[in-house]
């Protein structure tokens, strides 16, 4: 019997910390408080909570049951936001043992709620962790545990998180649905890293076991997930809480026993279960030694059975058959048809009297009192040797998929049939094996039990290794500064992910265009081919940063080639301020139209004349390369208004106006002589800073008014 404990079994970090804080709180409050409380079990393991109750830690339903001024420990699952308000009102001392991963989810959903997102939690709506998370977004989240519940979500602007203990497969399935159906989603995979590792290790152990034992509390969500995963790959899977519930009769029948334990299972209970099975193995071993001795005696007295491999000595050779001495009361006969001969080979060419030979028993009596043997059937065993070598060397063999069965397919290597689990057929999620039927696939041998004629293959292992080789080749072929072609695969608010031949690189939103973008889809499309420059490579983390705008010159470096003072340009209004409007000449290059350059008439509200997004024609008044500022004028592109003066009216005005006023008008400077307006563009340090434009001075009007 081989007993294997899956890696990452037992207490996770959050549970360990919660228990540590509980023990410390109990110790520190001895003699101060008669009782210390938790709202619900500290962890989902009755053995542990019973022990804690003996030490003085009691379970209540809610803070309203706790006495004023008492101590309440917040368990690792966390609590809703209003829990803290209720405890504060009762002057309750809080010891917060919320798991850091859960605490992060609570903060994420609270922030997303304030930004107008509708929260979606992928998980079990009745789990205390999920109830707590929902309490941080006003209990308005949609909690989904399957596709049917996901389809019921009506909102389009979603913020998606996960219960820390759900399976990655479920989370990805629901996220994929939302990505296709919703217009805007933010995804945060908040499955605990330790949970993913525990589930993966459980799956690998189950594949290689005859029987699996999952140890955990009956109300533990993560333990139930382990049971569901194990059941997919090992039919003989049992869920137990401790050694008392161990199915010993079933364990006795199996050779390879796998064990996995939930995050709330103490190490003590795991050791007790293993010790119980080890004792059973020791007892069985003694019995087996006696059985082996009896088997040897029986073997010396009996004839070989059908299917058995035997060794013997050639005592007679003809081209029709070979006679073999097997060391028992009957001789063995190997007919010519039971040999694999090539060309004109004869049996007399291959064998002679006295040769040692190995063969397989077909019949214990061929009708003439001899044992019928086969050399050809023995070759199947040689194929088994090749299978075993492939297992030991971690090499690949080619197997043909011939039949679909529950949970996977049957694939044949020469004359050896093996099982490929559905999860090991591809490196992507598949729910049917139709596309693989009849194909010959390179596979890795993951398990061999020749006595039971059982082999397990994995095509996924081959694909993963090949992909890793390809990825490494791509890494080796790339260097910072290279310009490569890529395909835009998906968007996030902070950029786009681009496939550059098998590797995904991040094209940050700030590296897409010299202009400002609110979202990457303003400049890119999914599936679009782009030439990107490699800005940085982090081999350890497997991350590549890309740039697109670097393939185009920065507008200010070539401004003399495209723009000159006096030139008329077309642009789009991108921003309006009290003192003027900004016009985009091209991405990364804006110019300012001062309020005085909007029209010939006096403008008090720019929005009355132009609007954001409007295409306008303007004239370049000034280009300041040092300060990177461009002054524009719209009115310079317009025809000036024509005013018709009535001579008679002028004479009347002159006749009626006092002489000192007329003198002041004659003495006022002309438009050409008037002081130039201060350039607001020069005064404005940046497009985003609001500035007050200087009021125009009208010397003539002021003097006339005086």
User: Higher model confidence: residue 466 or residue 643?
Assistant: 466
What CATH class is the domain 556-683? mainly beta
Where along the chain do its domains lie?
101-191, 309-340+351-377, 381-465, 478-551, 556-683
pLDDT one-digit tens code per residue, 58-74: 888 888 888 888 889 99
Average pLDDT over residues 498-526: 86
| Residue 399, pLDDT score | 92
Q: How confident is the model at residue 583 (pLDDT cuts 50, 70, 90)?
A: very high
| Residue 285, pLDDT score | 58
| Residue 662, pLDDT score | 41
Q: Is the pLDDT of residue 706 over 90?
A: no
Which 3-state string (H, E, C) describes 138-193?
CCCCEEECCHHHHHCCCCCEEEEEECCCCCHHHHHHHHHHHHHHCCEEEECCCCCH
User: Higher model confidence: residue 637 or residue 49?
Assistant: 637
User: Higher model confidence: residue 369 or residue 438?
Assistant: 438
Of the candidates 568, 633, 622, 569, the residue with the CA atom closest to the CA atom of residue 595: 633
Just list the catalytic residues. Answer: 129
| Residue 685, pLDDT score | 39
| Residue 401, pLDDT score | 93
Average pLDDT over residues 455-483: 85
| Residue 402, pLDDT score | 92
What does the alpha-carbon distance between residue 223 and residue 217 come to, in Å, rounded to a whole number?
7
Helix (H, G, I), strand (E, B) or coil at 699: helix
Q: How confident is the model at residue 292 (pLDDT cuts 50, 70, 90)?
A: low
Radius of gyration of the chain (CA): 41
Q: Is the pLDDT of residue 675 over 70?
A: no
The overall average pLDDT reported for the chain is 82
Q: Is the pLDDT of residue 471 over 80?
A: no
DSSP 688: T
Percent of the chain with pLDDT over 90: 29
Average pLDDT over residues 284-305: 55
Q: How confident is the model at residue 686 (pLDDT cuts 50, 70, 90)?
A: very low
| Residue 588, pLDDT score | 82
pLDDT one-digit tens code per residue, 190-240: 988 778 888 888 999 999 899 999 998 877 878 888 999 999 999 999 999
**Contact indicator for 534, 480 with CB cutoff of 8 Å:** yes
Q: Strand pairing partners for 632?
A: 593, 620
Calculate the alpha carbon distances from 535 to 361, 480, 521, 606, 677 in Å.
68, 6, 21, 42, 45
pLDDT one-digit tens code per residue, 347-395: 888 889 999 988 888 888 777 778 899 887 777 777 888 888 889 888 8
What CATH class is the domain 101-191? alpha beta
Lowest mean pLDDT across 19-33, 129-143, 639-653, 654-668: 654-668
Q: How many helices (H) and strands (E) does the chain have?
A: 19, 32
DSSP 307: T
Q: Is the pLDDT of residue 94 over 60?
A: yes
Q: Is the pLDDT of residue 653 over 60?
A: no
**Contact indicator for 526, 489 with CB cutoff of 8 Å:** yes
Which among 21-25, 544-548, 664-668, 669-673 has the top mean pLDDT? 544-548
CATH pick for 309-340+351-377 out of 3.40.50.720, 2.40.50.140, 2.30.30.280, 3.30.230.10? 2.40.50.140
Q: How confident is the model at residue 634 (pLDDT cuts 50, 70, 90)?
A: very high
Lowest mean pLDDT across 298-302, 326-330, 343-347: 298-302
Q: How confident is the model at residue 408 (pLDDT cuts 50, 70, 90)?
A: very high
What does the alpha-carbon distance between residue 238 and residue 213 come to, in Å, rounded to a whole number?
5
- CATH 3.40.190.10 holds for 478-551: no
**Cβ within 8 Å of residue 689, ≥6 positions away:** none
Answer whether 0.85 is exceeded by the pTM. no
Q: Do domains 478-551 and 556-683 have the same CATH topology?
A: yes
Q: What is the CATH number of domain 381-465?
A: 2.40.50.140
């Amino acid at each position: 019997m081989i007993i294997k404990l899956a890696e990452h079994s037992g207490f996770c970090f959050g549970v360990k910390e919660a228990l540590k804080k509980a023990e410390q709180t109990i110790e520190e409050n001895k003699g101060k408080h008669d009782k210390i409380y938790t709202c619900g079990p500290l962890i989902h393991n009755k053995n542990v909570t019973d022990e804690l109750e003996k030490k003085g830690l009691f379970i209540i339903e809610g803070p309203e049951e706790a006495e004023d001024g008492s101590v309440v420990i917040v368990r690792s699952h966390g609590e809703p936001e209003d829990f803290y308000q209720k405890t504060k009102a009762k002057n309750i001392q809080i010891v917060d043992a919320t798991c850091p991963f859960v605490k992060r989810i609570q903060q994420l959903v609270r922030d997303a709620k304030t930004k107008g997102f509708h929260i979606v939690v992928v998980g079990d709506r009745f789990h205390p962790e999920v109830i707590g998370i929902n309490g941080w977004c006003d209990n308005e989240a949609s909690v989904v545990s399957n596709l049917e519940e996901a389809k019921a979500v009506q909102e389009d602007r979603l913020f998606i998180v996960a219960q820390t203990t759900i399976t990655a497969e479920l989370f990805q399935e629901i996220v994929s649905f939302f990505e296709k159906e919703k217009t805007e989603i933010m995804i945060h995979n908040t499955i605990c890293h330790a949970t993913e590792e525990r589930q993966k290790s459980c799956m690998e152990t189950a594949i290689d076991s005859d029987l699996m034992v999952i140890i955990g509390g009956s109300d533990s969500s993560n333990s139930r997930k382990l049971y569901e995963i194990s059941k997919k790959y090992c039919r003989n899977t049992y869920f137990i809480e401790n050694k008392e519930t161990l199915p010993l009769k079933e364990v006795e029948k199996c050779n390879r026993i796998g064990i996995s334990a939930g995050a709330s299972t103490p190490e003590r209970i795991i050791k007790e279960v293993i010790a119980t099975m080890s004792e059973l193995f020791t007892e069985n071993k003694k019995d087996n030694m006696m059985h082996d001795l009896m088997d040897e005696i029986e073997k010396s007295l009996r004839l070989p059975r059908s299917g058995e491999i035997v060794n013997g000595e050639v005592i007679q050779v003809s081209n029709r058959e070979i006679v073999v001495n097997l060391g028992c009361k009957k001789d063995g006969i190997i007919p010519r048809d039971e040999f694999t001969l090539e060309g004109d080979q004869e049996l007399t060419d291959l064998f002679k009297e006295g040769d040692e030979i190995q063969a397989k028993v077909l019949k214990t009596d061929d009708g003439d009192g001899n044992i019928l043997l086969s050399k050809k059937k023995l070759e199947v065993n040689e194929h088994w040797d090749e299978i075993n070598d492939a297992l030991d060397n971690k090499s690949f063999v080619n197997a043909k998929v011939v039949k679909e069965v529950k949970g996977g397919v049957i694939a044949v290597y020469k004359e050896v049939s093996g099982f490929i689990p559905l999860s090991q057929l591809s490196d992507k999620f598949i729910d049917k094996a139709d596309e693989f039927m009849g194909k010959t696939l390179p596979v890795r041998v993951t398990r061999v039990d020749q006595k039971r004629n059982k082999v397990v293959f994995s095509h996924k292992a081959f694909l993963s290794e090949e992909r890793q080789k390809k990825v490494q080749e791509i890494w080796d072929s790339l260097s910072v500064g290279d310009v490569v072609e890529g395909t835009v695969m998906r968007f996030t608010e902070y950029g786009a992910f681009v496939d550059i031949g098998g590797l995904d690189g991040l094209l940050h939103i700030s590296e897409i265009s010299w202009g400002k973008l609110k979202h990457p889809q303003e400049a890119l499309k999914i599936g679009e081919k782009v030439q990107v420059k490699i800005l940085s490579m982090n081999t350890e983390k497997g991350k590549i940063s890309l740039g697109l705008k670097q393939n185009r010159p920065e507008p200010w470096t070539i401004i003399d080639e495209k723009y000159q003072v006096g030139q008329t340009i077309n642009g789009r209004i991108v921003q309006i301020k009290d003192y003027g409007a900004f016009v985009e000449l091209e991405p990364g290059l804006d110019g300012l139209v001062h309020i005085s350059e909007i029209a010939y008439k006096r403008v008090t509200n720019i929005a009355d004349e132009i609007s954001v997004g409007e295409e306008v024609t303007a004239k370049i008044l000034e280009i300041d390369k040092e300060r990177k500022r461009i002054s524009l004028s719209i009115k310079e592109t317009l025809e000036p208004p024509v005013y018709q003066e009535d001579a008679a009216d002028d004479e009347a005005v002159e006749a009626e106006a006092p002489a000192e006023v007329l003198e002041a008008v004659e003495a006022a400077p002309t438009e050409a002589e008037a002081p130039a307006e201060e350039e607001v563009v020069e005064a404005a340090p940046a497009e985003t800073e609001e500035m007050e434009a200087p009021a125009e001075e009208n010397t003539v009007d002021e003097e006339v008014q005086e």
